[in-house]
Structure 1
Amino acid sequence: MNKSRQQELLRWLRQQRHHGARNLRVASLLGFAGALVIIAQAWLLASLLQNLVVAQQPRASLLTDFLLLLLCFVLRAGLHYAREMAGHRAGVAIRRTLRQQVLDRLNVLGPAWIQGKPAGSWATLLLEQIEEMQEYYARYLPQMSLAVFIPLAILIAIFPINWAAGLILLVTAPLIPLFMAMVGMGAADANRRNFVALARLSGDFYDRLRGRETLRLFYRGAAEQEAIAASTTDFRQRTMEVLRLAFLSSAVLEFFASLAIAVVAVYFGFSYLGELNFGHYSTGVTLFAGFLALILAPEFFQPLRDLGTFYHAKAQAIGGADALEQFLRESPDPTIEHASRELSLTAPLHLHAQDLVVMTASGEALSQSLNFTLDAGKRVALVGQSGAGKTALMNVLLGFLPYHGSLQINGQELRDISRDSWQKHIAWVGQNPHLPAQTLRENLLLNSRIDDATLMSVLQRAGVDEFLDRLPQGLETVLGDGGVGLSVGQAQRIAVARALLKPAQLLLLDEPGSGLDSQSEQHVINALQQAATQQTTLMITHQLNELASWDEVWVMQAGQLVQQGHWQELIEQDGPLREMAQHRQKEIV
């Protein structure tokens, strides 16, 4: 990562602090108050030592000073705790806002964008990389102002007492941030590489975990285990590189701070021996001045040392912000709502596309010019080889991808209709069923109200009733983590039942029987074929043996609709559908 990129990310990180501005201001003010208490504490302690050792005053006469000193200890601890809590709350507020921004963008972009990266990468972005910004906002940012104010306040307290001690501190202070910057120059780049390796490792591991059955079937288990071991070793080495930089930075800071404090101690030691006679404004070097300077000298460097310690947090935040800032910059802003029209259907749903070109969010074409009409109540099967553009067409119909040309629903342009309004009229079943709610009933109803008779009828049509009795609590069974695990076929039947329960006018199916056993596939296909007769339906499929009963078959090739018509009509003429059917027949034989 070059220096200009680091500066750009640092500016972006500072811009996000307004999400926790109030708590950051409170943390800084508490730190300033703590600095004043530190000076008062040192002053009281030096004064007590002067009065006890030199002036030989009785301890009883100094009771007030002792009580004030005790109050300073308690107050300092309380202010430090309150400052830590305010900084923590600021970091939590900023991280929560950033996560919400990412989730809002992903919600707007939809699955067409999300599927472009492994799920593990999104998990790393949302959890690990945003989490690494906590210390930057909670500690580093408040410490930046304290690293200036506290040393300045201490110099103001020391210079009137002894200008030589103040001068020593003033001259040695810049060495710490100078060497801190030199040592930490490569820390941000090391952290960025570390996050890239973590995202890659998370994505690879999750993908292999999902495909473990396929890997075992093809005897790839040992090879993939070696690949994960190599990725883990690489990540461990990168993590140790980051830790090495952090420890080196701390060692350098401790060395220069200790050296400066030692110079102050040597100066006062030789002054008390009469070897050095300057810095005291012709009043002599008193025990009070020496104690005050030596007590405040470590406190003078402590904010700089803390800043050096938290400098690693800055490097971590810059490394974590790289992918996050790029994602937020390149993805569309969900607060900019271009489509706001509500879709009100007074007639059966009818789709018409004229010169439709499906686009990615970045403006690249995913299809050629498409022209089609999907009449109300029609059942259409969409077939084609993998990569032909079927999923892209499905995603634009779902409202997840932009397009050029025209795509009208009952005469209204889809891009002018709000996505939420449009999706209320759509039921969708994909290849991978998602059951986000806690119980089986909640996953079926999704906050809608359905009477029990209708619910049980749909469950019977979808084949859910076959395994419902085997679940411990029936419809109230808890699914997922901490609950009952379902097979893919069972989860798909539930997804089909959920689609059938939704009062939608358009049913979109993306290979709903893919990856299922023959029994589950038959249940799913039968239920969907019954549902397709009651609403407008478009189904992506590779199964050609059931298409003779469908109203139309669309054949897609290289991003273009090359054939449209009834199955019997298309199978009798030379073309892609006939070739696919013949090829499938040869595979069976």
Structure 2
Amino acid sequence: MDKIQQRELGKWLKGQSKLAKKWLTLSIGLGFLSSLFLIAQAALLADILHQLIVEQVDKYELISHFVAILVFVAIRALCSWGREIAGYRCGEHIRVHIRQLILNKLQELGPAYIKGKPAGTWATLLLEQVEDMQDFFSRYLPQMSLSVLIPFVILIVVFPQNWTAGLIFLLTAPLVPLFMALVGMGAADANRRNFKALQRLSGHFYDRLQSMTTIRLFNKTAQETGHLHGASEIFRKRTMEVLRLAFLSSAVLEFFTSISIAIVAVYFGFTFIGELDFGHYGTTVTLFTGLFILILAPEFYQPLRDLGTFYHAKAQAIGAAESLVEFLDTKTEQQAQGDKKVSESSTLDIQVEELIVTTHDGKNLLGPISFHLEEGSQTALIGPSGAGKTSLINAILGFLPYQGSIKVNGLELSELDKTEWYKEINWVGQNPTLVHGTIQENITLGKQDITQEQLDTACEHAFANEFIADLGYQHAISDRSGGLSVGQAQRLALARALLQQGRLWILDEPTASLDAKSERLVMKSLNQATQGLTTLMITHRLDQLHAMDSILVLDKGKIVQSGSFDEIKDSGLFANMLAAKQPVQGDLDA
């Protein structure tokens, strides 16, 4: 990562801090207030020692001084507590905002883009990388201001007391941020490499965890163990590289601050024994002056030391922000978002003309193709793997950008409000997604306007009531349909689609993984539900095509045949499929 990129990422991070300006200002203000009480505390302590040692004042006469010190200590403790709270709230507010930006971008890009990377990669981006920005906003940014304000105030106090000590502070102070910057130049790169390694490890581990059964069946356990060990070893090296730089940075800061404080101490030591006679303003250097400045000396460098301690938070945040900003700045050929609703009618008419479907970066996936899904028609979409069925369905769903025309009841798809368009679609795939929750929650998906009667009716029509009667609506389901058979999960997905009550059914091999009984029940339910509604079904079951009004045969991104079963059964690719009795692979994951 070059310096220009680091600078741009730093500007982006600081720009996000404006969202929590109130909390950031409060954190800085409390830190500055604490420093003022620290100066007063140092003055009191130096005065106490001067009166006890030089003026021989009785200690009981200084009780008010001791009480004042305790009060100052208590106030500083409260300021520190308040500063921590304000800093945390600042980081929390910004992290919530950044996560919302990521979620909005993911929603904009859609499932077709999301499935291009492992789930572990997105989890790392959304969780770990955003979380690692917390210290940057809660500690580093406030400390940047305090590292200027506090030394400046101390200099204002010290120079009237002794110009030599003030000059030592002024000349040595820049050394700390200078060497901090030199050491930290490679920290951002180290953190960036660390996050990349974590993304790869997370994605690899999550995918292999999901595929554990398949890995065991094919006896690839040892091979995958080796891959995981290699990925984890790279992550270990990257992590140790980051820690090495962090410790080196701290050591450099401690060294230079210790040298600077020692110079001040040596100066006052030689002054008190009469070897040096400069720095004062025509008077002798008193014990009060020496003690006061020596007590303030560590505190003068402390904000700079803290800034150095938190500098790794900046490097960490910049490393995390690189891929995050890159993702947020992803240029996509997005389908335009309209605000129109599909006209009211009993069903939908979809006219596709010269359609070219592209990826988000503009790469052609299929087309140009043209076809017509008439109102209430039943259409099958078949073709070999890679023919473009997935891309076509994703374009109709609004997940991929396109060129040409997709008109729904005369309105261009890009002119429709996507939220309203999704309400018109009843979707049943071959691998239903059920989340952790109850059966009822998985069917209703959080919809509050579903009555018990509607729920019972949907489950009855989907033939899911036969096992729900035994399990109950509150039966818990774990992730990935755990606790249910494939057939039961598919019938729950069908009940969910029935509750949608849309006018377009899109079916992606809904019976691909079912046993004979479940397949019969699902097809019976679908035949009843889709009567009179526009339906588009991807299938490899050639025996299900007789009942279809029309069949679209895709091959290499083109429609090579279309028509009814009887019209196309004796020629072309469809005839070859029938002759070979070869299943046509097709699913939205292809």
Establish whether TM, by shorter chain, passes 0.5.
yes
| Partner Cα distance (2:514, 2:529) in 1 | 19
Q: Structure 1 residues 518, 250: closer, same or farther in 2, change over 3 A?
A: farther
1:106-144 deviation line (CA, Å, top 9, x unaligned): 122221111111111111010000000000000000000
Aligned pairs for 1:280-295 within 5 A: 280-295=280-295
| Partner Cα distance (2:409, 2:470) in 1 | 45
Q: Which residue in the other structure is 1:313 paired with?
A: 313
Unaligned runs of 5+ in 2: 585-590
Q: Which residue in the other structure is 1:343 paired with?
A: 342
Q: Which residue in the other structure is 2:165 paired with?
A: 165
| Partner Cα distance (1:484, 1:390) in 2 | 29
In the TM superposition, residue 486 of structure 1 has moved relative to its aligned partner by 2.9
Verify the 8 A CA contact 2:353 2:369 in the aligned structure 1. yes
Q: Which residue in the other structure is 1:411 paired with?
A: 410
Aligned partner of 1:272: which letter? F
1:54-102 deviation line (CA, Å, top 9, x unaligned): 1111223222222221111011111111011101000000000111111
| Partner Cα distance (1:586, 1:395) in 2 | 22
- 3-state SS in 2 of match to 1:562: strand
Q: Structure 1 residues 583, 223: closer, same or farther in 2, change over 3 A?
A: farther
Which runs of at least 4 in structure 1 moved beyond 6 Å after TM superposition? 481-484
How many residue pairs are counted as aligned between the two chains? 583
Q: Structure 1 residues 579, 96: closer, same or farther in 2, change over 3 A?
A: same
Q: Structure 1 residues 310, 585: closer, same or farther in 2, change over 3 A?
A: closer
Greater alpha carbon shift after TM alignment, 346-355 vs 419-428: 346-355
| Partner Cα distance (1:462, 1:202) in 2 | 38
Greater alpha carbon shift after TM alignment, 299-308 vs 61-70: 61-70
Q: Which residue in the other structure is 2:204 paired with?
A: 204
Aligned partner of 1:556: which letter? L
Q: Which residue in the other structure is 2:120 paired with?
A: 120
Verify the 8 A CA contact 1:360 1:402 in the aligned structure 2. yes
| TM-score of the superposed pair, with normalisation by structure 2 | 0.94
Q: Which residue in the other structure is 1:536 paired with?
A: 534
Q: Which residue in the other structure is 1:552 paired with?
A: 550
- 3-state SS in 1 of match to 2:403: strand
Aligned partner of 1:530: which letter? Q
Q: Structure 1 residues 339, 386: closer, same or farther in 2, change over 3 A?
A: same
| Partner Cα distance (1:234, 1:518) in 2 | 48
2:472 aligned with 1:480: no
Q: Which residue in the other structure is 1:569 paired with?
A: 567
- 3-state SS in 2 of match to 1:368: strand
In the TM superposition, residue 571 of structure 1 has moved relative to its aligned partner by 1.7
Q: Structure 1 residues 409, 27: closer, same or farther in 2, change over 3 A?
A: same
Greater alpha carbon shift after TM alignment, 60-69 vs 82-91: 60-69
**Cα root mean square deviation, aligned:** 2.2
Unaligned runs of 5+ in 1: none
- 3-state SS in 1 of match to 2:242: helix
| Partner Cα distance (1:585, 1:82) in 2 | 71
Aligned pairs for 1:13-162 within 5 A: 13-162=13-162
| Partner Cα distance (1:176, 1:74) in 2 | 30
Greater alpha carbon shift after TM alignment, 253-262 vs 522-531: 522-531
Aligned pairs for 1:333-482 within 5 A: 338-436=337-435, 438-446=437-445, 447=447, 449=449, 452=452, 455-471=455-471, 474-480=472-478
| Partner Cα distance (2:247, 2:480) in 1 | 41
Greater alpha carbon shift after TM alignment, 207-216 vs 15-24: 207-216
Q: Structure 1 residues 234, 71: closer, same or farther in 2, change over 3 A?
A: same
| Partner Cα distance (1:63, 1:553) in 2 | 97
| Partner Cα distance (1:322, 1:159) in 2 | 44
2:520 aligned with 1:509: no
Q: Structure 1 residues 437, 206: closer, same or farther in 2, change over 3 A?
A: closer
Aligned partner of 1:547: which letter? L
| Partner Cα distance (2:458, 2:565) in 1 | 29
In the TM superposition, residue 348 of structure 1 has moved relative to its aligned partner by 2.4
Q: Which residue in the other structure is 2:10 paired with?
A: 10
| Partner Cα distance (1:580, 1:6) in 2 | 57
Q: Match for 1:582 among 558, 573, 579? A: 579
In the TM superposition, residue 190 of structure 1 has moved relative to its aligned partner by 0.8
| TM-score of the superposed pair, with normalisation by structure 1 | 0.94
1:452-510 deviation line (CA, Å, top 9, x unaligned): 56544542443423432442xx0122332699733444322211111122211100112
Aligned partner of 1:215: which letter? I
1:194-235 deviation line (CA, Å, top 9, x unaligned): 111111111111111112222222111221111111111111
In the TM superposition, residue 337 of structure 1 has moved relative to its aligned partner by 7.6
Verify the 8 A CA contact 1:478 1:484 in the aligned structure 2. no
Aligned partner of 1:550: which letter? M
Aligned partner of 2:558: which letter? Q
Identity score, percent: 51
In the TM superposition, residue 331 of structure 1 has moved relative to its aligned partner by 5.3
- 3-state SS in 2 of match to 1:21: helix
